[in-house]
């Protein structure tokens, strides 16, 4: 998430009422999660296990809960609760704005695009030309939809990320200020849910086709010309490269990469990154050829036992 204008380190520290290490006028351009940070961004870290990763990242401002040596060319924001203060910044720069109508006056809708009855289209949504948005679709604030896109009934674009911190009194949600971005020639089936990014974008690439009842988690990137079948669930921060095929009822772990041309057979559970052009099956998923060999060997076990007993 980029701020509407550059801020100084001192201004940001005053917003969240914390100490800082660095020049008062150190430039702050935005805030992001660690997997998408760029120079000028704030990243937060609240566990010693990840201090090094945050301090060595591309982010130049680290919101941290301990005074540590500040890397050269960077700045620190010292907070007793970085998670809370990251949420404060999201509230400040991307506050929730209630709607008072079904289609926001700030929404931009392209030529020849059809919006069927009972849809909700939020603030600052952009929809391109020649799209069909079927009835009872909810498109939350800031979503961007390209040209020649079809979205079927009951789909929700832009719900909050499923991202929580366990507190003594319950779970505390990390607020979502990112977007859903859908490129040209995408079809999204009925009753799908595509969550917005926490600070960046959840992206569906050009020409990809989603079946009914699919969940796409926050900050996940789906490449071009992918096919995803019904009841698939893809967790947050997954990279799905171009021309991937995912069949029904597949579950995908967060933070992995599904390489170009991968095929995931139905009811697989994928917990690791894949190799380009290979097929996977099972839970946990392995290369399909190996899994099928294993299954063939297992089928032979009763005969092996029978033969052993007959000797």
CATH of the domain at 140: 2.160.10.10
DSSP state, residue 148: S
Summarised one tens digit per residue, pLDDT across range 117-166 is 999 999 999 999 999 999 999 999 999 999 999 999 999 999 999 999 99
The residue from 63, 93, 123 where one domain ends is: 93
Token pair for residue 59? Answer: 């982010």
Give residue 308's pLDDT: 80
If asked whether residues 85 and 146 sit together in one domain, one would say no
CATH of the domain at 87: 3.40.1390.10
Q: In what order do the strands lie in the sheet with 245-246?
A: 114-115, 132-133, 150-151, 187-188, 209-210, 227-228, 245-246, 263-264, 279-282, 285-287
The answer as to whether 191 is a domain residue is yes
The answer as to whether 299 is a domain residue is no
Residue 289 φ then ψ, to 5°: -60, -45
The residue from 93, 128, 149 where one domain ends is: 93
If asked whether residues 70 and 116 sit together in one domain, one would say no
If asked whether residues 86 and 114 sit together in one domain, one would say no
If asked whether residues 211 and 72 sit together in one domain, one would say no
- Asked whether residue 306 carries a pLDDT value surpassing 90, the answer given is no
**Mean pLDDT across the chain:** 96
Summarised one tens digit per residue, pLDDT across range 227-254 is 999 999 999 999 999 999 999 999 999 9
Summarised one tens digit per residue, pLDDT across range 251-292 is 999 999 999 999 999 999 999 999 999 999 999 999 999 999
Instruction: Name the catalytic one among 35, 152, 218, 272.
Output: 218
More confident: 224 or 310? 224
Q: How many domains does the chain have?
A: 2
DSSP state, residue 130: S
| Overall average pLDDT of the 37-58 stretch | 96
If asked whether residues 118 and 260 sit together in one domain, one would say yes
Of 194, 186, 182, the C-alpha closest to 155 is: 194
Ramachandran category for residue 303: left, alpha or beta (phi over 0 → left; psi -120 to 50 → alpha): alpha
If asked whether residues 137 and 217 sit together in one domain, one would say yes
- Asked whether residue 170 carries a pLDDT value surpassing 90, the answer given is yes
Give residue 311's pLDDT: 67
Contact between 183 and 205 under an 8 Å Cβ cutoff? The reply is: yes
The answer as to whether 303 is a domain residue is no
Long-range contacts of 205-211 (CB under 8 A, 24+ apart): 205/242, 206/146, 207/183, 208/183, 210/186, 211/248
| 272 noted as active-site residue | no
Q: Which domain holds residue 88?
A: 2-93
Place 309 in a pLDDT band, splitting at 50, 70 and 90.
Answer: confident
């Amino acid at each position: 998430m980029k701020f509407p204008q550059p801020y100084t380190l001192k201004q940001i520290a005053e917003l969240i009422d914390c100490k800082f290490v660095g020049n008062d006028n150190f430039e702050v351009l935005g805030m992001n999660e660690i997997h998408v940070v760029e120079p000028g961004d704030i990243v937060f870290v609240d566990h010693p296990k990840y201090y090094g990763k945050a301090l060595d990242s591309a982010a130049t401002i680290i919101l941290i809960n301990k005074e540590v040596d500040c890397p050269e060319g960077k700045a620190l924001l010292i907070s007793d609760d970085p998670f809370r203060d990251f949420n404060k910044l999201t509230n400040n720069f991307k506050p929730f704005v209630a709607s008072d109508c079904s289609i926001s006056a700030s929404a931009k809708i392209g030529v020849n695009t059809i919006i069927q009855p009972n849809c909700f289209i939020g603030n600052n949504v952009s929809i391109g030309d020649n799209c069909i948005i079927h009835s009872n679709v909810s498109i939350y604030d800031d979503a961007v939809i390209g040209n020649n896109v079809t979205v079927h009934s009951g789909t929700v674009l832009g719900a909050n990320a499923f991202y929580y911190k366990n507190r003594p009194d319950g779970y505390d949600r990390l607020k979502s200020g990112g977007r859903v971005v859908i490129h040209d020639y995408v079809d999204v089936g009925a009753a799908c849910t595509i969550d917005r990014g926490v600070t960046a974008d959840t992206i569906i690439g050009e020409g990809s086709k989603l079946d009914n009842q699919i969940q796409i988690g926050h900050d996940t990137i789906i490449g071009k010309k992918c096919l995803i079948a019904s009841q698939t669930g893809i967790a947050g921060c997954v990279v799905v490269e171009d021309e991937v095929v995912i069949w029904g009822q597949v579950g995908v772990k967060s933070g992995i990469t599904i390489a170009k041309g991968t095929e995931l057979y139905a009811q697989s559970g994928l917990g690791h990154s894949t190799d380009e052009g290979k097929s996977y099956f099972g839970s946990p998923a392995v290369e399909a050829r190996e899994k099928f060999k294993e299954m063939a060997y297992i089928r032979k076990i009763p005969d092996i036992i029978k033969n052993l007993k007959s000797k």
